[in-house]
Amino acid sequence: MATIKQIDGRTIHQIQSGQVIVDLCSVVKELVENSIDAGANNIDVRFKNQGLDLIEVQDNGGGIAPANYESVALKHHTSKLSTYADIGSLDTFGFRGEALASLCALSTMTVTTCLPEDAPKATKLSFEPSGKLKGTNVVAAQKGTTVSVEKLFHNLPVRRKELERNIKREWNKVIALLNQYACIQTNLKFSVSQQPTKGKRIVLFSTKGNATTKDNIINIFGAKTMTGLVPLDLTLEMQPSSVSSVLQPTVDTGSVSTQVRIVGHVSRPAQGEGRQTPDRQMFFINGRPCGLPQFAKTFNEVYKSYNSTQSPFIMADIQLDTHMYDVNVSPDKRTILLHEQNQLLDSLRSALNDLFDSQDYSVPTSQL
């Protein structure tokens, strides 16, 4: 009979890390979200060999104080959450303190950081696979933080091979995700560049900061895309009796907002797009990019009843009270549990019908 014994800490850390950082997209998502949480208004995302050699995210946020160097990449160490009750009202993307720890276990990660008052004297930190600080070096850099990730999945050979084999698909997912952050963040100057193994670095897209989502769409998808869109600004009334907290079911619901707003842009019924591609249908919850298949389905179904041959471009930010959803469902935070989703979808369906009913179906002559 085999004996039951405890797995050693290092192995546990590696197993769990693989659930937080599941693919190339998770690396990019975690690093960009950390930069936004740090209050950056300028984020530069750089890849080498589509991320197989390097993923680097540089920001001009608040930086990391020297007192936190030892704990920054330790598991379950975060500056964003201290008790479970805080999850319900969080306004940061991160809260688990797992991303940097996981990256240490699955790649070679360095962090270069500089507090505003110390610029241009920055510190470059390197780490053990456990997340323990290995060493520090003084280097020159502007205020903010740069996280560099090399040799992703080097110690998970099967996953590394899969990543290399599916790099084209993974890369498309990464770009689609970056498009989403760049599109929704109006106060953020965003730049994404890639350097092939041989050849020069190419800027793939950039936004200007201090912009509107309309400006961002023009910068990312082109002016032609924008001309086919109408503004989306729907207010959905939720039945007060059904609005209660996901996290604290006994909470007094009187203070919880009963309105949900959906803001963004959608294709005019007469000016849809050729085929339905996920990267041109973007959904957010309070500015958090997320896959919402049921919302996408509702949009597409309603749109089809006005234009049976094309699909819509969609950028829709669902703005609701933080007590109406739960992001703490999966380790990679991609699944979001929406309270009263069915009621929301029903109201969305009728609001979209009203919107499209009020649209002029003819294409403006200036665009023919």
Q: What are the residues binding ligand ADP (CB under 6 A)?
A: 30, 34-35, 38, 59, 61-64, 72, 78-80, 94-101, 145
CB of 327 to ligand ADP, least distance (A): 11
When asked if residue 104 is in the footprint of Mg ion (CB under 5 A), the reply is no
Q: Which does 100 bind (CB under 5 to 8 A by kind): Mg ion, ligand ADP, none?
A: ligand ADP
Whichever of 99 and 103 has its CB closer to Mg ion, that residue is: 99
Whichever of 69 and 171 has its CB closer to ligand ADP, that residue is: 69
Q: Which does 29 bind (CB under 5 to 8 A by kind): ligand ADP, Mg ion, none?
A: none
CB of 45 to ligand ADP, least distance (A): 12
Whichever of 96 and 280 has its CB closer to ligand ADP, that residue is: 96
Q: Concatenated DSSP letters for 146-170?
A: EEEEESTTTT-HHHHHHHHHTHHHH
Integer Cα distance of 299 and 2 in angstroms: 54
Residues whose CB is less than 8 angstroms from the CB of residue 187 and which lie 6 or more positions away in sequence, other chains included? 41, 209, 210
User: Which of 51, 63, 94, 269: binder of Mg ion (CB under 5 A)?
Assistant: 94
When asked if residue 243 is in the footprint of Mg ion (CB under 5 A), the reply is no
Which helix (H) or strand (E) segment holds residue 124: the answer is strand 121-127
When asked if residue 43 is in the footprint of Mg ion (CB under 5 A), the reply is no
CB of 40 to ligand ADP, least distance (A): 7
CB of 191 to ligand ADP, least distance (A): 16
Q: Which does 61 bind (CB under 5 to 8 A by kind): Mg ion, ligand ADP, none?
A: ligand ADP
When asked if residue 145 is in the footprint of Mg ion (CB under 5 A), the reply is no
- Give the C-alpha distances (Å, rounded to integers) separating 182 from 194, 349, 365: 16, 27, 31
CB of 366 to ligand ADP, least distance (A): 44
CB of 174 to ligand ADP, least distance (A): 18
CB of 322 to ligand ADP, least distance (A): 16
Whichever of 13 and 96 has its CB closer to ligand ADP, that residue is: 96
Q: Report helix, strand or coil for 333.
A: coil
Whichever of 35 and 322 has its CB closer to Mg ion, that residue is: 35
Q: What is the end-to-end Cα distance of the chain in Å, rounded?
A: 77
| Region from 57-65, 83-91, 94-102, 219-227 binding Mg ion, contact rule CB under 5 A | 94-102
Residue 147: count of CB within 10 angstroms of its CB: 24
Q: Contact 306/269 with Cβ under 8 angstroms?
A: yes
Cis peptide before 364 (omega within 30 of 0): no
Long-range contacts of 84-88 (CB under 8 A, 24+ apart): 85/248, 87/247, 87/326, 87/327, 87/328, 88/245, 88/247, 88/248, 88/322, 88/323
Q: Report helix, strand or coil for 134.
A: strand
- Tokens linked to 313: 């471009």
User: Which of 17, 26, 34, 216: binder of Mg ion (CB under 5 A)?
Assistant: 34
CB of 90 to ligand ADP, least distance (A): 10
Q: Which does 151 bind (CB under 5 to 8 A by kind): Mg ion, ligand ADP, none?
A: none
Q: Contact 272/281 with Cβ under 8 angstroms?
A: no
Classify 357 in phi/psi space as left (phi over 0), alpha (psi -120 to 50) or beta.
alpha
Whichever of 59 and 332 has its CB closer to ligand ADP, that residue is: 59
The residues facing 316 across adjacent strands are 264, 283
Which helix (H) or strand (E) segment holds residue 266: the answer is strand 259-267
Q: Contact 300/275 with Cβ under 8 angstroms?
A: no
CB of 80 to Mg ion, least distance (A): 8
Amino acid at 50: Q
User: Which of 36, 43, 99, 147: binder of Mg ion (CB under 5 A)?
Assistant: 99
Q: Which does 283 bind (CB under 5 to 8 A by kind): ligand ADP, Mg ion, none?
A: none
Interface residues with Mg ion (CB under 5 A) are 34, 94, 99
